[in-house]
A = this chain, B = another copy of it.
């Protein structure tokens, strides 16, 4: 049992289940969209397959509704809570890789101007979205999401700056 490596996908599932206490795949999907969704998206199918994996490894407990939709409900096991906590306690030096499709085009010789125009637009609207989230945030509640959003905003701004400059040349 319990020997699979925790991918980011695993963590997101565990983390969301922890926040919710108990959740169906669909609830996780909703939760993700409203929280990590800003900077990390998952395919909906993963909210069904990943919990299964985690349950098989003993990190989640699976319960099936008796009547009606017979949905699957997941909650953390003790092992699951521990695994998550261990992951959280261990700082990581791993870095983001800047895997940006636009940047890749630029790198391999695409014409900067038209690319930049499209990109500026896209990043602007993303930035606006973030700022709306920020404005809506009361500022109580856990600090993590707030901080992550902060990073998102800073980088979105940087992208807008970057592509704007290229668009104007």
The digit string for A132-164, where 1 denotes a CB below 8 A from any CB of B, is 000000000011110110111011001101100
Q: How many angstroms between the C-alpha atoms of A98 and B93 in the bound complex?
A: 16
A97–B41 touching, CB < 8 Å? yes
Q: What 1/0 flags go to A87-105 for Cβ under 8 Å of B?
A: 1110111111111111111
Interface residues on A, range: 35 or more
Q: Which of A103, A119, A154 has the most CB of B within 10 A?
A: A103
Give the CA-CA distance A148 to B110 in the complex, in Å: 12
**Nearest B residue (CB) for A150:** B162
Copies assembled: 2
Q: Is A121's CB under 8 angstroms from B93's CB?
A: yes
User: A8 in the interface, Cβ–Cβ < 8 Å?
Assistant: yes
Q: Among residues 25 to 71 in chain A, which have CB atoms less than 8 Å away from a CB atom of chain B?
A: 35-36, 39-41
Q: Enumerate chain B residues within 8 angstroms of A118, measured Cβ to Cβ.
A: 91-93
Q: Is the CB of B94 within 8 A of A152?
A: no
- Of B18, B107, B159, the residue contacting A144 (CB under 8 A) is B107
